[in-house]
Each structure stands twice: as C-alpha cells, then as structure tokens.
Amino acid sequence: MTALLEAKDVVRTYAAGGKGRLRAVDGISLSLAPGETLALVGESGCGKSTLGRLLMGFDRPDRGQILFDGQDMARLSSRALRQTRSQLQMVFQDSASAFNPRWTIGSALAEPFRIHKRPFSRQSVEDLLERVGLSGSFYDRYPAALSGGQRQRLNIARAIALSPRVIVADEPVSALDVSVQAQIINLLRDLQTDMGLASLFISHDLAVVRQISDRIAVMYLGGIVEEGETLSLLAAPAHPYTRALSTPCHSPGKLSVSLCREMCRARFRLLQAVGFIRGAPELSLDAQSSDQSWRKNRVNIA
Amino acid sequence: MAGEALLELEDLRLDHEKAGVLLDGVSLTVRRGQVLGVVGESGSGKSLTGLSVLGLQPKGRLSGTMTFAGEDLTRFGSRDWRRFRGRRAAMIFQDPMTAFLPVRRIGAQIIEQIRLHKSVSRQEARKQVVSLLTRMGVPAPEQAADRFPHELSGGLRQRAMIAMALSCDPELLIADEPTTALDVTVQAQILTLIREIGAREASVMLITHDMGVVAQSCTDVAVLYAGVVVETGPVTEVLQTPLHPYTQALLRAIPPMDGPRPERLPVIEGVPPSPETRPAGCVFAPRCPQVTSKCAVRPSMRGEGLHRVACVLIA
C-alpha cells in the first residue's frame, strides 16, 4: 500500500540555551498507510509531539520531507496547504484549552465548515455531536458545561467534522479517568472503522496503545528505536527500551500485586541500566543521582 | 499491617449549600505504617476527603466522626487547626510548581514552615532542611535549598515538596495525586519514595485516580464512588478479588497488556450521579449491571476482616 502520510529522514532542532541545538526529531522516517493506526510511543521529551506537529504541517522540518499523498507539504502554496489541512486533523490532549470558552459548542463545531467554506446546517452539527455520543442539545451550551470525557468527545467531533483522511491524536486519553478512557478508546476505534480513518496515535501508555493501534513506533531521544506490528512487537520487544516501557504495571487486575511491584522496580532498574533515565541539562540534579546508580548497575548487567 | 489506627473517618458527610451532597458516608481507617490509597474518578470526593482531614474543606455542613490519634477533629477550632496542619498531618499536591511560592528559594520556604512549628534557630532549621532534602534523595541538597522552584525539575520539585511536608515530622502525609504531572520513570521514583515514607516515617493517604499507582505503592486501598467509600481492604485482596461491582468494572476498563485484544473495552454505562439524581439507595445502583430490588436501601459496609464492601450482593 502506498503511504498516505510519510516522513522522510526528518530533522527538527531547537536552540538550546547558549551553545548547541536540541535535536528534538533526529532523522526520522515513518509512513502511515490509508486506514492504518500507528502509535507513536515514548516518554515526554522524546520528541513525539514535535513529530506530530511536523506531520500536521504546524511546523517545518530543518531537513527531510513530510509527504501527504505524495506531495511535499513544505512546497505547497498556502492555498494548497489549506486544502490539505482539511484532510489532516488533530485531537489535542488538553480538551479544556482546545476550545474558546466564550464560543458555544455549536459555533466551535461549525468553525471548520466556515473556514473551509463547506455547507453546513444546525442539523448537520447536531448530527456530528450525536456521532461522537453527545446529545444534540449541547449545541447552544458552552464547553464549560461539559465533563472532561464529554469535552474530549467534542474535540474528536471537531476533528472529524470535515471527514479527514488522517487524524493525529496527541495523548487524547491520558488526562481521563479509566472508565471514561475506555469509552473514548471505543469511540476512536469505531470512527476509525466507520470512516476508514488513518491515525497517528501519540501516547506514553502501552496498554492503551495495544488496544487501539495496528502498528507501533517506539521513540527515544528524537529517534525511532523500534517499529513493528502492535501485538507481535509487544509480545517480543527487541529493544531494551521497549522492554522497559512495556513492563505491565498498567493492568494490576491481571497480576499479583507483588509481581507488579517487582516488575516496576525491574523496569526502573532496566531504564537506569541502559542509560535511558535522561540527563538533559535542565534535569542535571536528577541526573546526578541516577547517574551514579546506573553506572553501578550497568557494570552489574555488563 | 496491623498497626494501631491513626486516622478514623466514620460516615463522614459534607453537604454544600450550592453543590449539594459532596461526601456521603466516607468511612476509612489509616493505620500507622500504612499507605492507604484513596482511589476514585474525578468528582468522587477523594480530594475533598483529604482536605476535610486538614479542616480545609469548602464551607458546608460536615457530619460524622473524624478521629486522629484519639482526638476528635470535628471539634477543632481555628487555633487547633493551625497547630495541627503541617505539624501532625501535612499535604502534598499534584503540582509542586504552584504549591511553592515562585519568588522564594526552596530552602527558605521549608525553614519558614519549620520555624512556624518548632522553636529552633535559623541555622538549626537550615541544617534540618539539608538533612531532609538528603533523605528525600535530592542530590547536592545544599545547592538545591538555594534554588528557586522553577530551577528544579518536576521530580526534584516534588521531592522538595515532600521534604517540606515532612519537615515537622507529621504522623500523617496526605498526598493528592503526587505523580500525575510527572513522567513515568520519575513517577516510579516518587512512588518508591512514598512507599518508603509509609514504612519508616509517617502513615500516608495517597489520593489517586490510577489503579496502577495504587498497585505499585499502597498497602491498603479505599475505593470511592460519588462521595461514598464502596470498598476497602488490603491492596492485594481488593485488586485481585474485587467484590464491589464498581471496583470490578473499574478494573475491567483498563486495557489488558496480555492475552487477546478485546474488540471493545468494557465500559461502565451512564455517568456518576449529579446532586439532583442522587439515588437514595446504593449510589452505584443506576449503573450497576447486577442491580436488584434490594439496592433501594443504602448498604452498609460489610465483610470479614479488613476487606469490607458496601454492597447487598455480599453476604
């Protein structure tokens, strides 16, 4: 299958206090096929959100290309880019700040139609609300009237308003309670199946990722360390970082508690051992402490 | 874990004149040497429970009993509370950035708290700060004490926050979502620290929405739903054989890390009750898959030993 959205050897650096530049995304190549769900996994600071923003065309790479439907996004005219953007939508993590509190829910959902000059009616917006499991009667209310889970549904409704081909979801469920999280995961899966959406699902939670994705790309410090089909990758993670991340302390119901604790401890030690407890400059104090212990551990493991 | 009871809440209720019933029968016990996880969804009243123990709950009618080491907290006046807070029970919050004053150095803020409760010299207090920071695993504690909150990483700020909370040797540490804002690896470090504190220094009430956190660091757990404790007991028993249908549903909603991938995740239908729709009987009845006619009456906590549950299905 040809790729719908593709990153080719993309580099994005930022000025990092004083000398040097931080390589947030460091030569990543990635492709998303139509209808596929690719999960991008990693800890905060590994560059996964930066990569998401680059793929959305919010930001331009220093080097490399982002191709949407075979076209280089950096070379598109602003008119063509706007066209493309209607097919590429984003779901943000913090649904509270994703909406203007002074706009009604109806006008927030109508905005994408207005921007892209597509026909819409009150009825079509209410249908959209119902599609994500919200009552049409929310039309005249304000985002503040919604709970976190409902607001995340609204966030998703806005993203699918123009029937995009790709959705980039940046930690869409990490701020939610487990019971609500399960509802949103189910909703996302239903929409993916119904609309044939391709999606890039950015998350740090492997249990969630396992449930929703076809493929996983594991990111660490700006690079992809492992990539593969979800279930097989999680069943036999090859890279030590993936192994450390996938230690299951997320499903306490399935494990004996002592085993769970043991695994968490093991995961922590493993992360230290392979040097994955980061020592970025702003973390220097943290780094010193873990530094010493991992040196010791690394000697042990080696 | 059969330490003596330090904090006992019995049928704690909080009626707010505008928001309605906020807590509706919270019964739990924190024993010495215990890390009690208070787990529930947002709005279930877990943070309010913690605040009530420090007398910081919003104005409203508070009823029920709150006993701390034999003292009746419900009879406390403002002078008693001032002596109690920080000294005998202290709290740490989710976001250590907003909990510290941004314009004062970390050390100075901890010294202030120490000198508020103990008559010690500034130099002596400073020594205590350094030793506290060392105990909390802060590297280069001397320098860290002279830093401003924004100069520390999230994990270190949370350590400094815990150091401040422990500065007056409280008997109870209330931690409200202490790791929610932190990275997974840092989270593991802080949870380890909290577990050690529970074992060595003070009993801990750990408020969280995350069952994974409970499994990692608590000895006991109380499950809250809509202002009611529905199940409580040792972590191992509650997580492995949850008895209340709510606890069961909550654990089922977590995506599995092994075995077959379910087509859809089991969800809890409906939403938690609003003040207008609060059922007179069991609060979970409207969403409960196993509801019976007996559920119209509010069940009391029952069960043998420490694992207790408020459900009519349990004999």
Q: Is B47 helix (H, G, I), strand (E, B) or coil?
A: helix
Sheet containing B20-31: give its strands across: B20-31, B5-16, B61-68, B71-72
A34 has a pLDDT exceeding 70? yes
B288 has a pLDDT exceeding 70? yes
Domains of chain A: total: 1
β-partners of residue A203 are: A41
Q: ipTM more than 0.95?
A: no
A266 has a pLDDT exceeding 90? no
- Check CB contact under 8 Å for A251 and B256: yes
Cα–Cα nearest to A204, from B48, B59, B211, B184: B184
Q: Is residue A256 part of a domain?
A: yes
Percent of chain B predicted with pLDDT > 90 = 55
pLDDT digits (tens, 9 = 90+) for B161-211: 999 999 999 999 999 988 877 776 677 778 888 888 888 888 999 999 888
* A67 Cα to chain B: minimum distance (Å): 32
A277 has a pLDDT exceeding 60? no
pLDDT of residue A292: 32
- Check CB contact under 8 Å for A252 and B251: yes
Helix residue spans in B118-208 (DSSP H): 122-135, 141-145, 154-166, 184-200
Q: How far is CA A290 from CA A41, A74, A213, A279, B154, in A?
A: 23, 41, 33, 9, 15
Contact B46, B40 (CB under 8 A): yes
Q: Is residue A5 part of a domain?
A: no
Question: A121 or A45: whose pLDDT is higher?
Answer: A121
Q: What 8-state DSSP symbol labels residue A44? A: T
Instruction: Give the chain A residue nearest B136 (alpha carbons).
Output: A289
Q: What is the C-alpha separation between B285 and A91, in angstroms, rounded?
A: 34
- Chain B contact set for A177 (CB, 8 A): 41-42, 209
Q: What is the C-alpha separation between A190 and A207, in angstroms, rounded?
A: 18
Position A145 confidence tier, pLDDT thresholds 50, 70, 90: confident
Rg (CA), chain A: 21
pLDDT of residue A39: 94
A84 has a pLDDT exceeding 90? no
Superfamily of domain B5-88+170-309: P-loop containing nucleotide triphosphate hydrolases (3.40.50.300)
Instruction: Give the chain B residue nearest A180 (alpha carbons).
Output: B267
A49-70 average pLDDT score:
90
Q: What is the C-alpha separation between B49 and B22, in angstroms, rounded?
A: 10
pLDDT, mean over chain B: 89
pLDDT digits (tens, 9 = 90+) for A244-261: 676 544 444 444 444 455
Q: What is the C-alpha separation between A240 and A255, in angstroms, rounded?
A: 22
Beta strands in B145-283 (DSSP E): 172-176, 203-208, 220-225, 228-234
pLDDT of residue A265: 52
β-partners of residue B231 are: B223, B309
Percent of chain A predicted with pLDDT > 90 = 43
Instruction: Give the chain A residue nearest B150 (alpha carbons).
Output: A282
Position A280 confidence tier, pLDDT thresholds 50, 70, 90: very low
What residue ranges do the domains of chain B occupy?
A: 5-88+170-309, 97-169
DSSP A222-288: TEEEEEEEHHHHHHS--SHHHHHHT---S-GGGS-HHHHHHHHHHHHHHHHHTT-S---GGGHHHHH
A62 at B interface, C-beta within 8 A: no
Q: Is residue A274 part of a domain?
A: yes
* A266 Cα to chain B: minimum distance (Å): 11
B55 has a pLDDT exceeding 70? yes
B101 has a pLDDT exceeding 80? yes
Q: How far is CA A69 from CA A2, A66, A79, A88, A289, in A?
A: 9, 10, 16, 11, 47
pLDDT of residue B97: 77
A185 at B interface, C-beta within 8 A: yes
A254-269 average pLDDT score:
49
A46-64 average pLDDT score:
89
A131-149 average pLDDT score:
90
A289 at B interface, C-beta within 8 A: yes
Q: Is B270 helix (H, G, I), strand (E, B) or coil?
A: coil
pLDDT digits (tens, 9 = 90+) for A164-173: 999 999 988 8
pLDDT of residue A258: 47
- Check CB contact under 8 Å for B254 and A206: no
Q: What is the C-alpha separation between A175 and A184, in angstroms, rounded?
A: 11
Q: What is the C-alpha separation between B3 and B67, in angstroms, rounded?
A: 16
pLDDT of residue A298: 26
Half-sphere exposure (Cβ direction) of A277: Cα atoms closer than 13 Å: 29
pLDDT of residue B10: 93
pLDDT of residue A263: 52
- Chain B contact set for A245 (CB, 8 A): 184
Position A23 confidence tier, pLDDT thresholds 50, 70, 90: confident
Q: What 8-state DSSP symbol labels residue B104? A: S
A178 at B interface, C-beta within 8 A: yes
- Chain A contact set for B266 (CB, 8 A): 182
pLDDT of residue B192: 83
B145 has a pLDDT exceeding 60? yes
Query: Is the Cα dihedral B279, B281, B283, B286 positive or negative?
Result: negative
B35-39 average pLDDT score:
95
Q: Which helix (H) or strand (E) holds A169?
A: strand A166-170
- Check CB contact under 8 Å for B258 and A248: yes
pLDDT of residue A132: 92
- Check CB contact under 8 Å for A257 and B264: no
Position A55 confidence tier, pLDDT thresholds 50, 70, 90: very high
Q: Which residues contact A18 (CB under 8 A, 6 or more apart)?
A: none
Q: Domain range holding A266?
A: 247-302
pLDDT of residue B271: 82
Nearest CB partner across the interface for A257, out of B215, B252, B259: B215
Position A293 confidence tier, pLDDT thresholds 50, 70, 90: very low
